[in-house]
Amino acid sequence: MPDVEDTLTNALRRRIIDGEFAPGTRLSEISLAEKLGVSRNTLREAFRVLSEQGLVEHVPHRGVSVASPTVADVVDIYRARRYVEPAALSAASPLHPAVAMMREAVEQGEASLEERDWRTVGSANMAFHDAIVALADSPRLERLFRDIAAELRLAFLEIDNPEALHAPFVALNRSMLETFLAQGGPAAAAELQDYLVLSERTVLGAFTRLRHG
């Protein structure tokens, strides 16, 4: 059954992001290959891709483990986000197709908030920011964001207070969308700057509490 490759990489990606393997977990080639029903060589090719994407850490002769973002990683991720997201939003047109994605993400977030499904709230928030990056129409920036968003999800996984982590931002997303539509990109970008500062502080706070407390 050839061409399992891409599917395998994506399947592994999703499993890791979904938290099936906790951050830091060692991924044994032999047992995982057996579990997934593929050969070691095929699995290793997938590992290389995931390693390049930052989802998995590869240490020579010690195998790969699910990435476990450090505080420095979180700081860097937010730094990169501040470079890309506000600029993309600021320069965007309200007629851009991705605006529909932004709206859908906001509505999904509000619906999931109602049901107290924090996990889905988090996904919706991510989808919102993914849509913002999509406004830039740049495959390379989208790829960057896809990778750092995946890493960020790993950080989220280690924080077991998803409500505090995701719930407050649904309203901010709604507000940002309305600002964008009513007052244009630059005004919304200003909001986004504050949003990212707040989000970073929230994550870092929970994170340091987790690590040394």
Partner DNA sequence: TGGCATCGATTGTTCAACAATGGTAGTCGG
Partner DNA sequence: CCGACTACCATTGTTGAACAATCGATGCCA
Binding site for DNA (CB under 7 A): 1-5, 26-30, 37-42, 44, 58, 60-64
Q: CB count, 10 Å around CB of 14?
A: 11
The answer to whether residues 143 and 159 touch, using CB atoms and an 8 Å cutoff, is no
Q: Choosing among a copy of itself, DNA, none, which partner's interface includes residue 136 (Cβ < 5 to 8 Å by kind)?
A: a copy of itself
Q: What are phi and psi of 56, to 5 degrees?
A: -140, 145
- Least distance (Å) from a copy of itself to the CB of residue 80? 5
For residue 23, the number of C-alpha atoms closer than 13 Å in the C-beta half-sphere is 18
Closest by CA position to 88, among listed 137, 124, 128: 137
Which residues fall within 8 angstroms of residue 137, CB to CB, at 6 or more apart?
96
Q: Does 149 bind a copy of itself (CB under 8 A)?
A: no
Which residues fall within 8 angstroms of residue 140, CB to CB, at 6 or more apart?
none
Strand, coil or helix: what is 61?
A: coil
Of the candidate spans 41-49, 113-121, 169-177, 188-196, the one that interacts with a copy of itself by CB under 8 A turns out to be 41-49
Of the candidate spans 10-18, 144-152, 158-166, 184-192, the one that interacts with a copy of itself by CB under 8 A turns out to be 144-152
Q: Choosing among DNA, a copy of itself, none, which partner's interface includes residue 194 (Cβ < 5 to 8 Å by kind)?
A: none
Q: How many residues bind a copy of itself (CB under 8 A)?
A: 31
Q: Does 144 bind a copy of itself (CB under 8 A)?
A: yes
Q: Does 190 bind a copy of itself (CB under 8 A)?
A: no
The answer to whether residues 40 and 33 touch, using CB atoms and an 8 Å cutoff, is yes
Q: Choosing among DNA, a copy of itself, none, which partner's interface includes residue 150 (Cβ < 5 to 8 Å by kind)?
A: none
Binding pattern for the stretch 75-104 against a copy of itself, x by CB under 8 A and - elsewhere: -xx-xx--xx--xx----------------
Distance of CA 168 to the CA centre of its chain: 17
Q: CB count, 10 Å around CB of 196?
A: 17
Instruction: Name the site residues for a copy of itself (rule: CB under 8 A).
Output: 2-3, 5-6, 41, 44-45, 48-49, 52-54, 60-61, 76-77, 79-80, 83-84, 87-88, 136-141, 144, 147-148
